[in-house]
């Protein structure tokens, strides 16, 4: 056995007879022998079909070749490893550190026909893994593969559920545990390192083997970055140094609930008054149909022509000003598509700003009885033009914000201005869409004043998406797609560097026999009071759902919980500021502050809200008590003032008193105590 | 370009710059270039989980390497082709003809670690493909992959059906289009050749590409055989020369229906009398619970201890003799497992005749609240002992036959006497099980007198399984798992060399909300009168199902259709004799005799019964007419005597008059005409 040790103190590469090991700050990163190699090269042909954001993705695998031989060459700042399989196949791995001192692994296939890479990172059987963007079904990702591809999140997301089966039969829409609007090739290991991949190709991170993580890349190159830290808090600070952080939220966000309303200016006015008269703190009205509607056989759809529709919303400009004077924002809606039969699309087409099909004609995507063109955000002129649409049609109108919807639907067979394959750009699209919105605010000086929120994301959304929302939950109690699923979604995003998350109060997807019950709406309202934003949604079939104004008790419930939320304003605000400053997320997994508690690593449906509140939302129907786990600390029940230490505890959990504890030694204790009087 | 042509007139290998083509009797078989190779080598680790005959099969693929370089060496009788990928990987293909003059391709990986082979056979876009054993959902196999692995057939077999989803949720039991008891690596192309593979490993024959068929083998070697013929009839004769043929059926089979009855001697006697009194021709009683029952929470199960149970069946030996005198056979039941808690198992265990687990202990399979040992049929002593059980306990008792059930459940983690991996032996098991039954008859001189019938099969079942039955259809009208599915099952088996097929009248699987309706039972009875055997089954929940004696009209229906069947005896008998002589199946696809009719190749739910009857079973509920296709010929409606030529025709199809036509020029016309008087 020969042994070689080089590089900085942090980085150690030891050569052995038929392989090597790479260690970074005492973490074993790579382990290669001829018998158990760490690298494969190969080729495949992607077979990707999309129907309304639901993807069927298969690889017609042409070959996958283990690169058994590794020849190491010392370089000035690291090593180059030439991997081969006889004289037939080769690939290169460059190991060094980037300008910021991160470990950097750069892989490159050498055969031009090879467009697939599989890399095995060393793992320990006991490692837990978190991140990979927004994961709704899993928090600890160990034990499963996670394909990373932005798409609809699926309806039901569990092949054992009837709703999933119905949705699958209808449009392949049921989804599975890994479907997400916001995937990201970034994970945190409990060895206290993160790994982030720069690419945007289709990837599959498979954490199911005990001794390795197999990362598959549908591209001929990949760049991985790693950093280690002593604590998870420090690790997230490093990760967000790399990826960027969200700025603080506009102050009005903390002043109440944003009411999702449709139907025109007067409907908004009436519902606003009803709620305010009922004592509800309202910070805004969010009207997604501000641009008008289109009738289809599925019902009303928003008109995808992003300008104020004066017929449905008469006097909107004036009314916005009036509402603003009353402390109420008006939020609208936009997405990166333009309806093919309307004037914005015609203008984009005339200017050549739409993505193309194989014949060079404008590509139009079917969205359900109507088509829409795709703004080519890789074309700087198109990007600027669309940014101008946001500035002129939304910001100048006086919108306090909007939902920047979609971003997941870039078809893989469309052609882009930048010449990059749409298969590679697909995942990058949501972040590009975020950046377009972000810059519209930045360039108009409205950052920190106007808010947009998104469901789709990818690397880059940390910096450019001001706020995430959890997308389209079912209006049900299912673990994989109901209220519960929002918690692992927020926590996995937190571990991926995005620290601001909220959800539609009451959920959205109202299909088949699902109808939102009163209890679900109230429990979701309770939960949302302990997230950085409260916002309601009518759902896609408003008439089937219990709504915020469906009865007096519900209005009173919103009055109570918005008062809780607004009372917490200074506390939430400082947590949001901390996120902006150091990337410490607002909703945090328990292990972030209780690193030595093994059970904290397995908890998926509880979270810390800031440093001092522990929240355990009730996500089952008909419950009036709730059992939760408290890490070792001194805790106070937010509603009863009872003190307790760590361990499992069962508490009363009536509606309006979601299980929440605060740390006894919190500097915010008097604020928290005030909540008992509400 | 260099060109080389060698071998017999039939076999032509032409070398080109970077590849070769292989042609056999003017059919292009292989086409290889460096860019589009025909061979891949690789390695994988099978990940196979079984629960009650339902398999989850995945390949942990370690590598798959295109062998781009082919170096051809002329041999005395053919060629050896050395395939390589640089100096790293190689495999050999030996091309020659076997002793019988068949084209033989022998593949062998050269790396000991390589246990996977992928071979692409040249194809034309317009080719149709048939065979691959018993296929219930597809007849023309073009357009899909067909994994070949003997298993349960699935409940529902269609991911779009509710029953399938329920069964999947329960025990991964829903299945898919390719699940079958009887897979076989044999197919017939409309280029009029067959291809048969000698191996028994897991394979996947993928017919979805227009230019090639990709055959995947989970083994380090494969031997393929090909023959061509001028007609499909001649081709099946050649195929059955290779695989073997079924002998003729016992004469009693044509004398009526075999009644599936359970519950004891007197129940059998009473039901027999009821049916005979109602004018039903009965050729036998089939009592699967002859060995007793076991109560489980699922209900009654047969006691898997293969000996006459005198408590449930008192005086059976004497009664069998009496029934025989009345022309009624007694049929029993056996399978290749022995209940762990009973004496046959104890004896097998003592003798060391059970398969083993990794620790060398007896392997016991869970069958639903009881366990059973697996008789190790690869141990000649165990095989002979079990053959002796059949001889002594079934044949000597006087059984006229039995259901030789199962054969699909060999676990892949059990260890066998012959030292071959259970993964390789799994598919071979049903044929070994058939052979054991066959030899028990052969050695007692009972072939042609006693009948056994099987659902499981593989290569070898042609010679050793006297009769197939279609296994466990649902008691419903579904295309993939109901009455209809029996027709493609029979026809695909026919194209795989097995020409004797029947089904449970009324279907079997009675789960969830499924219950057998009277109409379904009667339609199935109508259909079965035009198959080589009529046999009923109560189903797994007899109380939920309409039965043959449920009302007088049903009994009268059986009286009518058994009279039709027995009237056809001489015709069916000659068709069965033809199958025994030349491998011409009894139930035939239309194109077998109408080769020039393109539409004949697409017809999946009609068949020729012998040469002269065309049968189009009614497989939809509530129908009283039926539309079918007649190839160009002179046809006579069996029930009305109306004559017609070819083309689509709609006929009345009342219960008891299934759409059947005979050829006007048939020598059996007077026999057929006699059916109009029944």
pLDDT digits (tens, 9 = 90+) for A258-313: 999 999 999 999 999 999 999 999 999 999 999 999 998 877 899 999 999 999 99
Q: Which residues of A touch B (CB under 8 A)?
A: 40, 42, 61-66, 85-89, 159-160, 162, 165, 168-169
Report the share of chain A in percent with pLDDT over 70: 99
Closest-CA distance, A137 to chain B, in angstroms, reads 18
Distance from CA of B152 to the nearest CA of A (A): 21
Read off the tokens for B374. 């697996």
Q: What is the DSSP letter of B591?
A: G
Residue in chain A nearest B69 by alpha carbon: A88
Please tell me the predicted confidence (pLDDT) of residue B1: 35
pLDDT value at A50 more than 50: yes
Q: At what angle do helices A552-567 and A518-528 cross, to 10 degrees?
A: 10
pLDDT, tens digit (0-9, with 9 covering 90-100), for A83-109: 999 998 999 999 999 999 999 999 999
Best mutation target, A88, A111, A115, to test chain B (most B CBs within 10 A): A88
Nearest CA in chain B to A113: B35
Asked if residue A266 belongs to a domain, the reply is yes
Q: Enumerate chain B positions whose Cβ falls within 8 A of a Cβ in A.
A: 40, 42, 61-66, 85-89, 159-160, 162, 165, 168-169
The burial class, CB within 10 Å (0-12 / 13-18 / 19+), for A359 is: exposed
| Residue B298 clears pLDDT 80, i.e. is over it | no
Mean pLDDT calculated for residue range A493-508: 98
Q: pLDDT tens digits for B126-165?
A: 999 999 999 999 999 999 999 999 999 999 999 999 999 9
- pLDDT at B414 exceeding the cut of 70: yes
Please tell me which residue of chain B has the smallest CA distance to A159: B169
Residue B579 corresponds to which tokens in the numbers above? 């199958």
- Whole-number Å distance between alpha carbons of B416 and B422: 7
Residue in B42, B61, B85 nearest the CB of A88: B85
What's CA A362's distance to the chain center, in Å? 30
Which DSSP helix (H) or strand (E) runs through A562?
helix A552-567
Classify each residue of A667-677 as buried b or exposed e, where b means 16 or more C-beta atoms within 10 Å of its C-beta: ebeebbeebee
Q: Which of B63, B162, B168 sits opposite A65 (nearest CB)?
A: B63
Q: What is the DSSP string of A457-519?
A: --TTHHHH-S-EE----BSS--TTTSGGGHHHHHHHHHTTT---EE-EET-SB--TT----HH
Residues of chain B with C-beta less than 8 angstroms from the C-beta of A168: 159
Q: Which of B242, B272, B297 is the last residue of a domain?
A: B242
Q: Is the pLDDT of residue A39 over 60?
A: yes
Instruction: Give the pair of three-digit tokens for residue A345.
Output: 């699309």
Are B87 and A89 a contacting pair at CB < 8 A? no
Dump pLDDT digits (tens) for A448-457.
Answer: 999 999 999 9
Q: Is the pLDDT of residue A389 over 50?
A: yes
Helices (H), B244-342: 265-277, 316-325
Please report the pLDDT score of residue A17 as a whole number.
83
Q: Is the dihedral of CA A644, A649, A655, A658 positive or negative?
A: positive
pLDDT, tens digit, 9 for 90 and up, residues B237-284: 999 999 999 999 999 999 999 999 999 999 999 999 999 999 999 999
- Nearest Cα of chain B lies from the Cα of A64 at a distance, in angstroms, of 5
CB contact under 8 A, B61 and A65: no
| Structural domain includes residue A384 | yes
d(CA B610, CA B575): 5
Catalytic residues of B: 405, 408, 472
Could you say which of B66, B86, B162 has the minimum Cβ distance to residue A87? B86
Determine the pLDDT at residue A8. Answer: 54
Q: Residue A7: pLDDT band by 50, 70, 90 thresholds?
A: very low
* B7 pLDDT more than 60: no
- DSSP-assigned beta bridge partners for residue A415: A356
Residues of A in contact with B209 (CB under 8 A): none
Closest among B280, B258, B147 to B557, alpha carbons compared: B280
Nearest residue in chain B measured CA to CA from A160: B169
Is A504 domain-assigned? no
**What is the full DSSP assignment across B365-389?**
EE-SS-EEEEB-TTSHHHHHHHHHH
Q: Is residue A334 domain-resident?
A: yes
Asked if B63 lies within 8 A of A64 by C-beta distance, the reply is yes
Average pLDDT over residues A423-435: 98
pLDDT digits (tens, 9 = 90+) for B190-229: 999 999 999 999 999 999 999 999 999 999 999 999 999 9
Residues A89, B88: C-beta atoms closer than 8 Å: yes
Domain final residue pick, A440, A456, A472: A456
B533 is a domain residue: no
Q: Which residues of A touch B88 (CB under 8 A)?
A: 85-89
- Name every chain B residue with its beta carbon within 8 A of the beta carbon of A85: 86, 88-89
Secondary structure letter of residue A362 according to DSSP = B
**Residue A391 CB neighbours (<10 A):** 16
CB contacts, 8 Å: B62 with chain A: 64, 66
Spatial CA neighbour of A313 closest among A286, A340, A343, A295: A286
Q: In terms of DSSP bridges, do strands A69-74 and A27-33 run parallel, antiparallel, or are they unpaired?
A: unpaired
Question: Is B126 inside any structural domain?
Answer: yes
Number of domains observed in the structure of chain B: 2
| CB contact at 8 A, B32 and B20 | yes
What is residue B390's DSSP assignment? I
For all residues of chain A together, what is the average pLDDT?
97
Sort out which chain A residues have CB atoms less than 8 A from B117's CB and list them. none
Q: CA of B295 to nearest chain A CA: how many angstroms apart?
A: 30
pLDDT band with cut points at 50, 70 and 90 for residue A232: very high
A633 is catalytic: no
The reply to whether residue B65 touches residue A63, judged by beta carbons under 8 angstroms, is: yes
CA-based nearest distance A66→chain B, Å: 6
Model pLDDT, residue B237 = 98
Q: What is the pLDDT of residues A391-422, one digit of tens each?
A: 999 999 999 999 999 999 999 999 999 999 99
pLDDT > 50? residue B4: no
Interchain CB contacts (distance < 8 Å): A and B: 48
As beta bridge partners, residue A337 has: A374
All residues of chain B having their beta carbon less than 8 Å from the beta carbon of residue A63 are 40, 63-66
> Residue B46 is part of which domain span?
11-242
Q: How confident is the model at residue A5 (pLDDT cuts 50, 70, 90)?
A: very low
Question: Which one of the listed residues A472, A504, A526, A612 is annotated catalytic?
Answer: A472
Closest CB from A61, A86, A160 relative to B88: A86
Pairing of strands B39-51, B54-66: antiparallel
- Chain B: closest CA distance from residue A256 (Å): 44
pLDDT at B299: 79
Residues from chain A that touch B165, judged by Cβ atoms under 8 A, are: 162, 165
Give me the residue from A64, A87, A169 closest to B64, CB to CB. Answer: A64
pLDDT tens string A316-346:
999 999 999 999 999 999 999 999 999 999 9
Q: Is A255 a catalytic residue?
A: no
Round to whole Å and give the CA distance between A232 and A239: 10
Considering CB atoms only, which of B66, B86, B168 is closest to A62?
A: B66
Q: What is the CATH number of the domain that holds B175?
A: 2.60.40.1760
Q: What span, in angstroms and rounded, lies between the C-alpha atoms of B155 and B176?
A: 9
b/e map of A226-244 (b: 16 or more CB within 10 Å)?
bbbbeebbebbbbbbebbb
Name the phi and psi angles at B81, rounded to 5: -115, 125
Q: Give the distance from CA A552 to its chain's centroid.
A: 34
Task: Give the C-alpha separation, A353 to A371, whole Å.
Answer: 16
Looking at the complex, report in whole angstroms how far the Cα of residue A108 sits from the nearest Cα belonging to chain B.
19
Q: In 3-state terms, chain B is what percent helix, strand and coil (to 5)? A: 25, 30, 45
Helix (H, G, I), strand (E, B) or coil at B339: strand
What pLDDT, on the 0 to 100 scale, is given for residue B102?
Answer: 97
Nearest by CB to residue B86, choosing from A86, A162, A168, is A86
For A551-590, write each residue's pLDDT tens digit: 999 999 999 999 999 999 999 999 999 999 999 999 999 9
In a domain, A140, yes or no: no
Burial class (CB in 10 A: 0-12, 13-18, 19+), B230: exposed
pLDDT value of position B8 = 54
Would you call B63 and A61 a contact, using CB atoms and an 8 Å cutoff? Answer: no
pLDDT at A3: 41
- Residue to mutate among B38, B47, B61, B64, with most A CBs inside 10 A, is B64
Q: Label residue B297 by pLDDT band (50, 70, 90).
A: confident
Instruction: Answer for the pair A315, A271: CB distance below 8 angstroms, yes or no.
Output: no
Residues of A in contact with B40 (CB under 8 A): 63
Burial degree of B490 (CB within 10 A; 0-12, 13-18, 19+): buried
pLDDT at A127: 98
- Search chain B and give the residue with CA nearest A86: B88
- The burial class, CB within 10 Å (0-12 / 13-18 / 19+), for A475 is buried
| Tokens linked to B485 | 């599915």
Radius of gyration of chain B (CA): 25
Model confidence at B296, pLDDT cuts 50, 70, 90, reads confident
Q: B62 and A65 in contact by Cβ < 8 A?
A: no
Q: Which two tokens stand for residue A109?
A: 């296939």
Task: Give pLDDT, residue A523.
Answer: 98
The pLDDT value given to residue A6: 44
Write out the two tokens for B92. Answer: 């050999």
Q: What is the DSSP string of B119-163?
A: EEEE--TT--EEEEE--SS-SS-TTSEEEE-B----SS--TTSHH
CB contact under 8 A, A40 and B63: yes
Asked whether residue B493 is assigned to any structural domain, the reply reads: no
Measured distance CA(B515)–CA(B506) in Å, rounded:
10
Torsion angle (degrees, nearest 10) of CA B241, B242, B247, B249: -100
Inter-chain contact B87–A87, Cβ cutoff 8 Å? yes
Write A208-214 long-range contacts (CB < 8 A, 24+). A208/A142, A208/A143, A208/A144, A208/A145, A209/A123, A210/A123, A210/A125, A211/A122, A211/A123, A211/A124, A211/A125, A212/A31, A212/A38, A212/A120, A212/A121, A212/A122, A212/A123, A213/A120, A213/A121, A213/A123, A213/A129, A214/A118, A214/A119, A214/A120
Chain B's closest residue to A169, CA to CA, is B160
Residue with tokens 């079939």: A541
The arithmetic mean of pLDDT across residues A120-133, rounded, is: 98
Distance CA B487, CA A373 (A): 48
Say how far apart CA A426 and CA A412 lie, in whole Å. Answer: 7
Strands B145-148 and B203-206: antiparallel
Contact residues on chain B for A65, CB-CB shorter than 8 A: 63-65
Q: Which residue in the set B65, B87, B160 is minimally distant from A65, CB to CB?
A: B65
- Is A472 designated active site? yes
d(CA A657, CA A560): 10
How far is the alpha carbon of A117 from chain B, nearest alpha carbon, in Å? 12
- The CATH number of residue B612's host domain is 2.60.40.1180
How far A129 CA sits from the closest chain B CA (Å)? 22
Report chain B residues whose CB lies below 8 A from the CB of A62: 64, 66
pLDDT tens digits, A531-545: 999 999 999 999 999
Q: Where among B242, B260, B293 does a domain terminate?
A: B242
């Amino acid at each position: 056995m020969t042994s070689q040790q080089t590089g900085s103190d942090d980085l150690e590469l030891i050569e052995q007879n038929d392989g090597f090991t790479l260690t970074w700050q005492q973490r074993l990163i790579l382990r290669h022998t001829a018998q158990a190699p760490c690298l494969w090269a190969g080729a495949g042909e992607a077979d990707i079909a999309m129907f309304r954001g639901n993807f069927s993705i298969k690889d017609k695998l042409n070959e996958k070749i283990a690169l058994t031989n590794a020849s190491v060459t010392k370089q000035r700042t690291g090593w180059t490893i030439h991997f081969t399989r006889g004289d037939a196949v080769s690939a290169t791995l460059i190991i060094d550190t980037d300008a910021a001192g991160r470990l950097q692994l750069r892989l490159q296939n050498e055969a031009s026909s090879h467009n697939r890479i599989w890399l095995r990172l060393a793992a320990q059987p006991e490692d837990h893994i978190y991140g990979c963007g927004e994961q709704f079904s899993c928090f600890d990702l160990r034990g499963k593969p996670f394909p990373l591809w932005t798409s609809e999140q699926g309806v039901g997301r569990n092949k054992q559920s009837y709703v999933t089966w119905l949705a699958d039969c209808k449009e392949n829409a049921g989804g599975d545990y890994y479907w997400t609007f916001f995937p990201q090739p970034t994970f945190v290991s409990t060895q206290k390192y993160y790994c982030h991949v720069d690419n945007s190709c289709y990837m599959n991170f498979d954490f199911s083997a005990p001794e390795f993580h197999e990362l598959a890349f549908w591209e001929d190159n990949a760049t991985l970055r790693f950093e280690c830290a002593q604590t998870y808090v420090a690790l997230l600070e490093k990760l967000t140094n790399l990826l960027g952080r969200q700025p603080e939220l506009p102050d009005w966000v903390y002043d109440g609930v944003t009411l999702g309303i449709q139907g025109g200016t007067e409907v908004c006015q009436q519902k606003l008054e009803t709620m305010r008269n009922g004592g509800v703190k309202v910070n805004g009205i969010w009207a997604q149909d501000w641009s008008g509607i289109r009738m289809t056989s599925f019902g009303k759809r928003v008109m995808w022509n992003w300008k104020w529709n004066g017929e449905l919303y008469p006097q909107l400009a004036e009314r916005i000003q009036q509402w603003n004077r009353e402390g109420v924002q008006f939020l609208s809606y936009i997405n990166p598509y333009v309806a093919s039969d309307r004037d914005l699309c015609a203008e984009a087409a005339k200017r050549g700003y739409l993505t193309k099909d194989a014949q060079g004609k404008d590509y139009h995507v079917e969205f359900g009885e109507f088509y829409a063109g795709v703004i080519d955000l890789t074309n700087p002129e198109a990007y600027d033009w669309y940014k101008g649409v946001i500035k002129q049609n939304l910001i100048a109108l006086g919108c306090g914000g909007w939902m920047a919807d979609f971003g997941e639907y870039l078809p893989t067979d469309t052609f882009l201005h930048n010449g990059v394959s749409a298969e590679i750009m697909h995942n990058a699209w949501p972040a590009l869409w975020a950046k377009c919105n972000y810059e519209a605010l930045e360039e108009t000086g409205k950052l920190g004043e106007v808010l947009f929120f998104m469901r789709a994301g990818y690397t880059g959304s940390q910096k450019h998406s001001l706020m995430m929302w959890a997308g389209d939950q079912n209006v049900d109690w299912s673990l994989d797609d109901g209220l519960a699923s929002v918690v692992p979604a927020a926590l996995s995003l937190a571990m991926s560097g995005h620290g601001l998350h909220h959800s539609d109060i009451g959920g959205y997807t109202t299909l088949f026999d699902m109808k939102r019950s009163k209890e679900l709406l109230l429990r979701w309202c309770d939960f949302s009071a302990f997230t950085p934003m409260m916002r309601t949604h009518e759902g896609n079939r408003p008439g089937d759902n219990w709504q915020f104004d469906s009865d007096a008790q519900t209005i009173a419930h919103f009055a109570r919980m918005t008062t809780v939320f607004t009372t917490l304003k200074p506390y939430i605000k400082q947590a949001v500021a901390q996120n902006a400053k150091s990337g410490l997320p607002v909703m945090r997994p328990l292990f972030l502050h209780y690193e030595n508690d093994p059970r904290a690593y397995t908890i998926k449906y509880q979270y810390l809200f800031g440093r001092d509140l522990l929240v355990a939302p009730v996500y089952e129907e008909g419950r009036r008590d709730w059992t939760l786990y408290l890490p070792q600390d001194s805790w106070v029940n937010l509603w009863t003032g009872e003190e307790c230490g760590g361990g499992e505890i069962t508490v009363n959990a009536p509606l309006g008193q979601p299980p929440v504890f605060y740390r006894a030694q919190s500097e915010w204790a008097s604020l928290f105590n005030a909540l008992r009087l509400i």
